[in-house]
């Protein structure tokens, strides 16, 4: 079996590792829906409680910078029905109406990489939100307060959630579950006081400025357009009579380093010993790097790593003319990653005895 086929087989067998989440890099979209819990709204002499739960929905388009940080533009909607109200210290005998909320937010979100399919994240947002009272009424003895108005105010929110990578099924797809605290400054909504019921004569009018605080629980999906695709599985060819299979040895390096560790020298010594024992006719030494630097720098770094391994083989008794040295930079990762990711398994030199 060739080295490439062996690596592909190892990738298929290591599915949990391949399914680990990678930082979002580039354009993405997301959406979520769930429940909204509106805190009691208060103003001077006015209180309103809402039926729970209400509804909430969000949609966003954003950009990931490949280092865990994301920026996004979001549109949102929330809905709650009025439950009870108190006016001037008197509890309303009957209430009705709905509160609609619309908002446009700019969010900054940070993904916390765990090396697993789960990615917790935290975020904050600021923008503008509109409150709309629809057919609101609250009746007290002798009068009814009504409101059908819309006003906007500065909006803010805090976000805490976790994503689960579904890239094993759809590359770039993530399932999200999150909590959001959303609020606005006090909006100014027109209200009227009528005699009797909601259709009575208007005897006074003014504005209420209710507080507006919301707690939302959402489930959603996020799709990143340029997420790394997993290497396709390749069916193994039918066995044929062939010489003894090549032996492969992997020598790993610390980040941005080309010097050999004690463990690396042990592996190279084992390769040299087996090369002499099996009368190897050719030794291939191939250097690689992860994607945390520029392609040009990684090409040079992989060349230095390959040269150092070849030099150690010569020191162990292998003739220099028996060694073929190549450097692939970041072009042949053992573990596919997004650009800028430090992946230890990609910082390596492969020694192949043929």
What is the spatial distance between Cα 50 and Cα 60, in angstroms, rounded to a whole number? 27
Q: Where in the chain is the domain with CATH 3.30.1330.60?
A: 3-13+244-353
Q: Where are the beta strands (DSSP E) in the chain?
A: 25-38, 41-43, 46-50, 54-65, 69-87, 90-91, 94-111, 118-140, 143-165, 173-184, 189-195, 202-208, 212-224, 247-252, 283-287, 323-327, 348-353
CATH 3.40.50.880 is right for the domain spanning 3-13+244-353 = no
pLDDT tens column, 207-253: 889 999 999 999 999 999 988 766 566 666 666 555 556 788 899 99
- What average pLDDT score do residues 306-334 get? 90
Q: Highest mean pLDDT: which of 138-142, 177-181, 262-266, 348-352?
A: 177-181
pLDDT score, position 253:
93
- What average pLDDT score do residues 45-72 get? 94
First CA to last CA distance, the chain: 11
- What average pLDDT score do residues 159-186 get? 95
Q: Where in the chain is the domain with CATH 2.40.160.20?
A: 23-224
- What average pLDDT score do residues 277-282 get? 76
CA 118 vs CA 110, 134, 220, 270: distances in Å: 14, 41, 14, 39
CB burial string 189-216: b at 16+ within 10 A, e below: bebbbbeeebebeeeeeeebbbbbebbb
- 7, pLDDT greater than 60: no
pLDDT score, position 15:
39
Evaluate whether 222 touches 174 at the Cβ level (below 8 Å): yes
pLDDT tens column, 102-113: 999 999 999 999
- 6, pLDDT greater than 60: no
CATH 2.40.160.20 is right for the domain spanning 23-224 = yes
Instruction: Identify which has the larger pLDDT, 193 or 152.
Output: 152
pLDDT score, position 235:
66
pLDDT score, position 245:
64
pTM higher than the cut 0.85: no
pLDDT score, position 18:
41
Q: What are phi and psi of 57, to 5 degrees?
A: -150, 145
């Amino acid at each position: 079996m060739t080295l490439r086929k062996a690596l592909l087989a190892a990738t298929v067998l290591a599915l949990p590792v391949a399914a680990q989440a990678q930082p979002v890099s580039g354009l993405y979209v997301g959406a979520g829906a769930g429940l909204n819990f509106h805190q009691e709204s208060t103003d001077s002499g006015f209180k309103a409680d809402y039926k729970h739960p209400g509804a909430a929905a969000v949609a966003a388009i954003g950009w990931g910078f490949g280092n865990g940080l994301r920026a996004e533009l979001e549109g949102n909607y929330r809905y709650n029905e009025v439950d009870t109200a108190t006016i001037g210290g008197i509890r309303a005998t009957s209430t009705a109406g709905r509160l609609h909320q619309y908002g446009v937010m700019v969010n900054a979100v940070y993904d916390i990489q765990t090396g697993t399919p789960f990615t917790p994240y935290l975020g904050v947002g600021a923008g503008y939100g509109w409150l709309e009272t629809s057919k609101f009424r609250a009746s007290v003895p002798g009068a009814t307060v009504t409101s059908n108005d819309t006003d906007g105010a500065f909006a803010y929110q805090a976000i805490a959630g976790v994503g689960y990578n579904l890239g094993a099924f759809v590359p770039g797809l993530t399932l999200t579950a999150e909590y959001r605290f959303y609020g606005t400054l006090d909006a100014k909504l027109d209200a009227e006081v009528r005699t009797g019921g909601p259709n009575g004569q208007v005897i006074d009018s003014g504005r209420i400025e209710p507080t507006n605080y919301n707690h939302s629980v959402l489930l959603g999906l996020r799709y990143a357009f340029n997420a790394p695709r997993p290497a396709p599985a390749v069916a193994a060819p039918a066995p044929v009579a062939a010489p003894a299979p090549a032996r492969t040895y992997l020598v790993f390096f610390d980040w941005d380093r080309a010097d050999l560790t004690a463990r690396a020298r042990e592996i190279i010594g084992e390769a040299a010993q087996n090369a002499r024992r099996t009368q190897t006719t050719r030794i291939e030494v191939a250097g690689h790097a992860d994607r945390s630097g520029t392609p040009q720098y990684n090409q040079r770094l992989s060349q230095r790593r390959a040269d150092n391994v070849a030099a150690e083989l010569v020191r162990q008794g292998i003739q220099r003319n028996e060694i073929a040295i190549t450097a692939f930079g970041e072009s042949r990762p053992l573990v596919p990653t997004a650009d800028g990711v430090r992946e230890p398994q990609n910082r390596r030199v492969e020694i192949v005895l043929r």
